[in-house]
Amino acid sequence: MSVRKLKPITPGQRFRVVNGFDAITTDKPEKSLLAPNKRSGGRNSQGKMTMRYIGGGHKKRYRIIDFKRDKHGIPATVATIEYDPNRTAFIALLNYQDGEKRYIIAQNGLQVGQNIVSGAEAVAPEIGNAMPLANIPLGTIVSCIELRPGQGAVMARSAGAFAQLMAREGKYATIKLPSGEIRRVLASCIATIGAVSNSDHQLLVSGKAGRHRWLGRRPRTRPVVMNPVDHPMGGGEGRSSGGHPRSRKGIPAKGFRTRSKTKSSNKYIVERRKK
């Protein structure tokens, strides 16, 4: 994986940093795994804007991703590594021995032609294999982790994300999440070996406002430049700082904990994430 810095032949390219796309092997997606992706532009069923700063953007189709990895014991070959406009990570197309094709989140180091397998039948903890946490050696780097058995991957799915399997005790496994939180998860939950691909995503620079518009993001007004009627941080003489950071509804931000103290899943958290 690499990034490229463009020559400043236009103002928009002066600070632009683009992905090298070294890992990408094709630009043609699998048609049978495409679905329409209808966008609302931030409007509800009545046509009223309920979410600000959403709208426009390039048309794109959704790639159906297999987050459950429930074809247990059937080997698959990696056919392609592809770009997905709906997420930061790259995706991989798998050709199963029974003829089925599926997309998965590509792990860092996954190669075309590599054979991978999911389920308890995956004996070796090799990159791309999906295994129950009970079968993965301690200290292994994992990603695409289930929170409940059979639910499908919900944690550590974005570009460069990974977690570490720390310990096992009884029916629970302890994992350290990307946020720094240490949490207990049922050992029967499935996780994929390796970190998520496209770890250089955090180094990219858009270079111009128009590129954000292509992604469907409209210009965002800073709260401190609003009037007091529009935001708690608005108003004041001249350029005032805005006071304590808070949301439009008045909920404090930047350090204020909003997680419920009576949430049932609190008992599974061994150590909270770092501030």
* Structural domain boundaries in the chain: 3-202, 228-266
Question: Degrees (nearest 5) of the Cα angle 252, 257, 258?
Answer: 80
Q: Within its chain, how far is the Cα of 173 from the centroid? A: 22
Q: Look at residue 149 and tell me whether its pLDDT is greater than 70.
A: yes
Check: CB of residue 157 under 8 Å from CB of residue 144.
yes
Domain 3-202 coded CATH 3.40.50.970: no
The pLDDT > 90 percentage for the chain reads 95
CA distance 234 to 228: 5
From residue 151, give the alpha-carbon distance in Å to each of 188, 191, 205.
11, 12, 35
CA distance 230 to 218: 18
CA distance 92 to 196: 11
- Interval 85-142: pLDDT, tens: 999 999 999 999 999 999 999 999 999 999 999 998 888 899 999 999 999 999 999 9
Looking at residues 52-58, what average pLDDT do you find? 96
